[in-house]
Amino acid sequence: MMRARGWLAALPMLTLLAAGFAAPIAIVAVTSLMPPRTFSLTGALALSNYLAAFTEGYWRPLMWSALGALATTAICLVLAWPTANALMRLGGRVATLVAILIALPIFISESVRLFGLSLFLMPGGGILAGTLNELFGIRIGSILNTRLAALIGLVYIHFPFVLFPLMLGLGLVPRDQVEAARDLGASGWQLFREIEAPLAAPGAAIGAMLCFVLALGANAEAAILGGRAVTVATQAIEQRFSYAQDWPQGAALTMLLVLITALVVIPLLRRVDLDRLIGR
């Protein structure tokens, strides 16, 4: 009886998930097994698109996306840890203000922010190069349209998604355990490794997952800041679907991207104690 009611209560959510999540994935999965350049879902199933993904060079955009997402996550974690620690230690109004300043840009369109960054980095009359030239007579080149610029864009956009879960995680580290570790002779690094990192791990993992998944699917950074220097997975997929009119190939690449996401997210989720993070 109770069980039946539970299912009944879950029905709206289940319907939504089935229609909005499971069904599209299933359709994409089937499409990815269709013969190349066809538009039906009833052809003979084949793995040729997946083979083509590796033989025809599509692995490059996948690799760039995966590497970019990994690097972004790692850099964001390294930058966010001391920031989160400082904000937690600072506490009070100043910390709230800084947190708001970091969070606010999320409400502005990503492209707008990236174009802003692009103006900043532009050579010659760009904000950075122009100012340096005008004030100090220093002439610099520009990293615009390089992989580095795309990576900086990725870090810039995704930093808050790591910072805030991490702050939540660090909030879980009991103050007295930190003090006890200090008292027992832990140096700053040992404190991090033995106490803070393991106890704040749920927050760090959530932040890292958010960052990785978002960065894996990102393309504006590469398009706006990276110029032609790099093609990312989503860009390749879009090309397959639109210009190339090769839906099965696009679907196969999509499935590979989903696979990479799953390979990263599922093991992490299994290890992280989410209940602890929400205080259960």
Partner 1 sequence: MTAGQDGRAFLVLDGLTRRFSGRPAVDGVSLSIPEGEFFTIVGPSGSGKSTLIRMLAGLERPDAGRILLRGADITAMPANRRPTCMVFQSLALFSHRSVGENIAFALKMRGVDAATRRARALELMELVRLPADYLDRPVTQCSGGERQRVALARALASDPEILFFDEPLSAIDYRLRKILEMEMKDLHARTGKTFLYITHSLEEAMVMSDRIAIMRAGRIVQIGPPREIYARPNSRFVAEFMGEVNVFAVRGGRIEGLDRPAAAQSGFLILRPEALRPLGPADHADVSFPARIETGYLLGSRSQLHLSALGRRLVAELPGAAAAELRPGQEGRWGFDLADAVVTPE
Kindly report the backbone phi and psi dihedral angles of residue 131, in degrees, each rounded to the nearest multiple of 5, phi listed first: -65, -45
Q: Which stretch binds partner 1 (CB under 8 A): 17-25, 129-137, 185-193, 256-264?
A: 185-193
Is 190 one of the binding residues for partner 1 (CB under 8 A)? yes
187 lies in the site for partner 1, by CB under 8 A: yes
Angstrom CA distances, 76 to 69, 73, 166, 199, 212, stand at 10, 5, 11, 19, 10
Residues 28-67 that bind partner 1 (CB under 8 A): none
* Run of H or E including 136: helix 127-136
Q: Which of 73, 86, 91 is nearest to 204 (CA)?
A: 73
| CB closer to partner 1 out of 62 and 195 | 195
Kindly state whether residue 182 participates in binding partner 1, applying the rule CB under 8 A.
yes
90 binds partner 1 (CB under 8 A): no
Token duo for residue 234: 């989503």
Of 4, 172, 5, give the one whose Cα is nearest residue 88: 172
Q: Which range, of 148-156, 192-200, 202-210, 250-258, touches partner 1 by CB under 8 A?
A: 192-200
Q: Does 198 bind partner 1 (CB under 8 A)?
A: yes
Residue from 45, 23, 26, 22 nearest 34 by CA: 45
CB 200 within 8 A of CB 239: no
Smallest gap from residue 80 Cβ to partner 1 (A) = 21
Exactly one of 82, 125, 174, 267 binds partner 1 (CB under 8 A); that residue is: 174
Contact segment (CB under 8 A) with partner 1 among 55-63, 156-164, 172-180, 203-211 equals 172-180
Query: How far, CA to CA in Å, does 213 sit from each of 8, 143, 261?
Result: 32, 25, 6
Alpha helix (H) residue ranges in 187-241: 188-191, 197-216, 220-224, 233-241
As measured in angstroms, the least distance from the Cβ of 176 to partner 1 is 4
In whole angstroms, how close is the CB of 92 to partner 1 at the nearest point? 13
User: In terms of CB distance, is 56 or 179 closer to partner 1?
Assistant: 179
CB of 276 to partner 1, least distance (A): 10
Among 52, 90, 186, 229, the residue binding partner 1 under the rule CB under 8 A is 186
Contact 121, 142 (CB under 8 A): yes
Does residue 176 touch partner 1 according to CB under 8 A?
Answer: yes
> Which range binds partner 1 by CB under 8 A, 10-18, 108-116, 195-203, 217-225?
195-203
In the set 180, 263, 269, 274, which binds partner 1 (CB under 8 A)? 180
Measure the CA–CA gap between 166 and 168, rounded to whole angstroms: 5
Residues engaged in binding partner 1 (CB under 8 A):
174, 176-177, 179-187, 190, 194-195, 198-199
